[in-house]
């Protein structure tokens, strides 16, 4: 454990230094992990007024987006919501620099949503290869981007649509007895992982609920106070925040890989989800949609525990972050059944962007 006290922003800056040193502009691919970490570093650059970091983010995006707005590696015909996530940094850069190519590229992602297949209930399929399935991950990938686009371009129908999808996802994945949200919902009930009655997947995977919490606060930050959907979304955030704090591991002050299996051998405090929940709680307080008590303190003490346990500061001014679940999903080949043994059996790695990005975002919120 680290002996010298550091602020949240100290950790954020150190991790950002390592990311930018390890990945030169042009080395990153267009995917949701890249979008996540670029957005995190962009937010950090604003919080600490780091022009060099801002330039690195811009150069990294410029390596992926041509002058005509074409995005390297983007395949719209896959109807993959993950591919939309990096659109958030395009909107940030367009606002900052006014370069039309960022908006043109973002419009391609917006157009995908017009054609995205839907469940009969109106929710976007997570991907074309996952028919009739809503995954909580997908709400983070598309909703904040879509709501910001809709508000900036006068597309009220898009904003309402996406807000309704956030509400639908909670309705279909929530287990009323615990308040926890299961990883995904299969409207067709055809997947082996789907409950034959509810269509829900078996377990509450922490990172899935973390994605959903981040989507909520990011959307609420954009949504005007008087918007008709706002009270319903705030009510969902209230439920999510209360549930999240109630299931926090008492020993580590972090969140376990499988939230609905406390005390079960093999379950472990997972870094990415813990960072996501810290971000959700801290930001919910900052934007005025969660009360400061108890959520600000909960976020701060959990972040301090996470940093102490899993972040290591290096002599070169960088840092590393351990304890990150590398990946988890449902279905596919080989088939992922959503069982407890599946989730705890996935590799645990260091410095994966799915942990580093939320950790830096939480650091910015906590200062």
Q: What is the rounded CA–CA span in Å between residue 342 and residue 75? A: 29
Report the pLDDT value the prediction gives residue 5, as an integer from 0 to 100. Answer: 75
Q: Where are the beta strands (DSSP E) in 164-318?
A: 184-186, 311-313
Binning pLDDT at 50, 70 and 90, where does residue 4 land?
low
45-60 tens-digit pLDDT: 999 999 999 999 999 9
Give yes or no for a contact between 359 and 311, defined as CB atoms under 8 angstroms apart. Answer: yes
Q: What is the rounded CA–CA span in Å between residue 256 and residue 262? A: 7
For the chain, the helix, strand and coil percentages under 3-state DSSP, each to the nearest 5: 55, 10, 35
Q: What is the rounded CA–CA span in Å between residue 261 and residue 258? A: 6
Report the pLDDT value the prediction gives residue 12, as an integer from 0 to 100. Answer: 98
- Sorted by sequence, the CB contacts under 8 Å of residue 196 that are 6+ apart come out as 189
Q: Is 111 a catalytic residue?
A: no
267 CA to centre of own chain: 22
Q: Where are the beta strands (DSSP E) in 242-360?
A: 311-313, 319-321, 324-325, 348-349
pLDDT (mean) for 227-234: 99
Evaluate if residue 358 carries a pLDDT over 80: yes
Predicted TM-score (pTM) of this structure: 0.98
Binning pLDDT at 50, 70 and 90, where does residue 245 land?
very high
Cα-based angle 360, 366, 367 (whole degrees, multiple of 5) = 85
Reduced to 3 states, what is the DSSP secondary structure of residue 181? strand
Catalytic pick among 137, 186, 218, 352: 137
Evaluate if residue 293 carries a pLDDT over 50: yes
294-350 tens-digit pLDDT: 999 999 999 999 999 999 999 999 999 999 999 999 999 999 999 999 999 999 999
CATH, domain range 8-366: 1.50.10.10
Reduced to 3 states, what is the DSSP secondary structure of residue 133? strand
Q: What is the rounded CA–CA span in Å between residue 255 and residue 248? A: 5
49 CA to centre of own chain: 24
């Amino acid at each position: 454990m680290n002996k010298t006290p550091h602020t949240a922003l100290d950790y954020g800056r150190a991790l950002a230094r390592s990311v930018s040193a390890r990945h030169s502009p042009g080395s990153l691919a267009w995917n949701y992990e890249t979008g996540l970490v670029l957005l995190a570093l962009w937010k950090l650059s604003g919080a600490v007024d780091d022009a060099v970091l801002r330039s690195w983010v811009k150069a990294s995006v410029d390596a992926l987006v041509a002058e005509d707005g074409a995005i390297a590696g983007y395949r719209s015909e896959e109807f993959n919501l993950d591919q939309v996530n990096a659109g958030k940094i395009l909107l940030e850069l367009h606002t900052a620099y006014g370069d039309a190519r960022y908006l043109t590229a973002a419009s391609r992602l917006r157009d995908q949503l017009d054609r995205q297949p839907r469940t009969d209930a109106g929710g976007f399929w997570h991907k074309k290869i996952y028919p009739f399935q809503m995954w909580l991950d997908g709400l983070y990938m598309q909703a904040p981007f879509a709501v910001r686009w809709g508000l900036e371009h006068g597309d009220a129908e898009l904003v309402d649509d996406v807000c309704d999808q956030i509400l639908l996802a909670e309705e279909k994945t929530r287990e009323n007895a615990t308040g926890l949200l299961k990883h995904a919902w299969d409207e067709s009930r055809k997947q082996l992982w789907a409950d034959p009655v509810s269509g829900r997947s078996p377990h509450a995977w922490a990172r899935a609920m973390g994605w959903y919490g981040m989507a909520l606060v990011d959307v609420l930050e954009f949504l005007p106070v008087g918007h008709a959907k706002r009270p319903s979304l705030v009510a969902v955030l209230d439920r999510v925040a209360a549930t999240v704090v109630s299931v926090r591991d008492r020993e580590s002050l972090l969140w376990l890989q499988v939230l609905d299996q406390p005390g079960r051998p093999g379950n472990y405090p997972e870094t990415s989800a813990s960072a996501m929940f810290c971000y959700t709680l801290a930001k919910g307080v900052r934007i005025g949609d969660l009360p400061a008590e108890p959520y600000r303190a909960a976020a701060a003490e959990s972040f301090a525990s996470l940093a102490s346990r899993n972040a290591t500061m290096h002599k070169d001014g960088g840092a590393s972050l351990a304890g990150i679940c590398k990946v988890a999903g449902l279905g596919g080949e080989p088939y992922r059944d959503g069982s407890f043994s599946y989730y705890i059996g996935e590799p645990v790695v260091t410095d994966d962007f799915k942990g580093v990005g939320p950790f830096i975002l939480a650091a910015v919120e906590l200062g």
